[in-house]
A and B are shown apart, each in its own frame.
Chain A
Amino acid sequence: MEFILFKRTMRQVLLLPVVACLVLAGILVWQISGANATVGLIEQADQRIALATLVEKLVVDEETGLRGYQTTADPRFLQPYHDAEVPMQQAIAQLQSMTRPGQQQLLNQFIQQHQTWHQGFAEPLIATIAAGGHATDVDLNLQGMARMNAMRDSLKAIVSAAEQSRKNRIAQWRLQTRHILFLLIGMALAIGLLIGLFTRVRLKSAYDSFQHQLDLQRQRTQELFESEQHLRTTLASIGDGVIVCDAEGRVQMMNLVAQDLTGWTESEAQNRPLEEVFHIVNEITRQPVENSVVRVQRLKRIVGVSQHTILLRKDGAEISVDDSGAPIRDAAGEITGIVMVFRDITLELKTRAALLANEKLAVAGRLAATIAHEIHNPLDSVANLLYLLQHEPKEEESKQFLQMAHNELARVTQISRAMLSLYRESNAPVSVNLKEMLDDLLLLMQRRFQILGVTVSTDLPPEIAVEGFPAELRQVFTNLIINAAEAAGQGGNVTVRVRPQPDGAASGQAAEAGATVEIMDNGPGISPENRSRIFQPFFTTKGQSGTGLGLWVSQGIIRKHAGTIDIDSRTEGPNHGATARVFLASKPVIHLGGN
């Protein structure tokens, strides 16, 4: 049930009893006012009885006064008779006003009778006595008595009618109060039932709604539990180490791989600072390295892999790792925790080193044919010359043979030196004369160019030098030049040139001083789909004869030398071919481990 509906129900449950009670009160007021009206009528009947009784007393007073005067002829006895006259008029008038028109018959009858008695009997009698006459006539007195009795009967009838009316009205009032009582009980029952039923219905619907919400909540809780179990299983199954820390960098959770790699169990590591559990140092400097969690705390964002990091395990063993971290944020975007992922890259580094060594050997393999040829040919000549010298040569010939043997041996020496310089590496960068280096390489490859039928032209200014590791640079240029020669093919051309590159101060660009080596061929060029993949490891277009590592390794070496390498290609038009450009800075900041 929605909150608005619930509020409406609450309002209904409050308002309905109030409205019902108001209706009940209205009905009661109506009924009670009816009863009150009846009470008013009863009071009226009481007044009428009282008035009729008063009139009866006044009639008695009049008769008594008249009798006394008749007996004594003393006008003082007549006083009550006169005194009754005015109140009698008033009482009759009052009675008249209180009697409904339909019930005035008895009253009119009495008024008539009283008037007849008053004028037909009392007044003549008084006048007779006042005139000194006698009023003892029996018939006259009997007549007067009869009239008086008739008056009294009328009055009795009036009182009796009023009493009857009063009795009726009291009965009516009782009936009314009983009605009110029944009505009250009946309505109280009805309203109570109504309110009860209504409230029950509304509460039932609210209960159903809350029950539904409760079921939903239970279902969600179950789903949440399952989801959490799912995530926990996922986390535990991840092949990388995962450590979850709180916002302060204290360990909260570790998966099995993380426990295995660090040597700490989850319970041991719980709430310890990450630096203690995940103790990493730089591979080369042995200085402590800022871990991902600290970097995330500092930078407040996802941080990438840090390089050359060694994890010191709890048992003191060392493994190469890379780690990355990401913040865990709450709904408001505040960092509530940090998750760090790391993995053992020891094997990967060893594999990489093996690959690099392998590629170095592959370069040697590419040159092996040349070397064999360049050494065996002069050796063959020298062996033959020595044989000739042993067999009685002429003086002139001996000199010539010796000179030829000397030249051939010099050729072997040169080849041997050029070859060895491919493998002899210095520990620190040294100055490398680009012309000397490229000439050496071209010499080693000369035979290969011949076999491939490739013409090589060069533009190598003599005094351009850069700092670097010569053997590595030789490896790069051997790869690039052999690639160019193989691409150019029979009858093709390869151009090798070096251009000095002054620093960007003159042109306003932030470029370093150095040199660009360009190796250009007029082969078919590189197709666009291959173009994007040539620097990927194990990508080769040479089938079984290529390792697919040449350009990948070359790129690593050039990056280590803080240089750049890129390859332009034109697959159409008369200028088709590829151009490899390598920029090397004169004084580079060497990135150790650039591979």
Chain B
Amino acid sequence: MDNSSPLVLCVDDETVGLRVRQMLLERAGYKVLIAVDGYSGLELFAAHPVDAVVLDYSMPGMHGGQVAEKMRKTKPKVPILLLSAYLDLPAEVTSLADVYMTKGEGAPALLDKLGNLIPNSPHPIRQPK
């Protein structure tokens, strides 16, 4: 993992899922920051030159829509991938994100969509033998 690897911020209150997602993205060549709620996510977002955000929608305190709104206000160019366990999110929420996907669609879908969001994304991890 070199210094040119894109930095991705993952925000999710589901700790197990967050850890697995972190491992997956690190294997794929990203540098990953993790936060378990919106507030700490926004702090990390402000403090680091984040290239993309993988944001969970359903979180206590501040939901993904609210977090995305605040992020757009400070750094509008940073792409946001909104993840949700729910199938139907209101349009005003999904329109804040660049990409919206449902949890459980699988790792390749996540990596593809994230790769499309970042211009100089690393190569995807090797295909299974």
Contacts and interface: CB of A to CB of B under 8 A. Distances in A.
A and B bind? yes
Interface of A: 369, 372-381, 383-385, 387-388, 390-392, 404, 407-408, 447, 450-451, 453
B85 A404 contact: no
Contacts of B105: 383
A384 B24 contact: yes
29 contacts: A369-B58, A372-B86, A373-B58, A373-B86, A376-B86, A376-B102, A376-B104, A377-B85, A378-B16, A379-B103, A380-B17, A380-B103, A381-B17, A383-B106, A383-B107, A384-B17, A384-B21, A387-B106, A388-B23, A388-B27, A391-B125, A391-B128, A404-B16, A404-B20, A407-B16, A408-B16, A451-B58, A451-B60, A451-B63
A377 B103 contact: yes
Interface in B93-129: 102-108, 110, 125-126, 128
Given A372-B87, A377-B14, A451-B60, A387 B24 contact: yes
Q: Which of under 10, 10 to 19, 20 to 34, or 35 or more describes the interface residues of B?
A: 20 to 34
Interface of B: 13-14, 16-17, 20-21, 23-24, 27, 58, 60-61, 63, 83, 85-87, 102-108, 110, 125-126, 128
A372 B87 CA distance: 8
A397 to B, nearest CB: 8
B106 A377 contact: no
Contacts of B13: 450
Contacts of B103: 376-377, 379-380
Contacts of B21: 384
Contacts of A377: 14, 17, 85, 103
Nearest to B106: A383
Contacts of B20: 381, 384-385, 388, 404
Contacts, number: 72
Contact of B58 (A375, A378, A447): A447
Nearest to B128: A390
Contact of B60 (A375, A385, A408, A453): A453
> 7 tightest CB-CB pairs across the interface, nearest first?
A387-B107, A376-B85, A380-B103, A373-B85, A379-B104, A450-B60, A376-B103
Given A379-B103, A381-B17, 17 more contacts: A369-B86, A372-B86, A376-B85, A376-B86, A376-B102, A377-B103, A380-B17, A380-B103, A384-B20, A388-B27, A388-B107, A391-B27, A391-B125, A391-B128, A404-B16, A408-B16, A451-B58
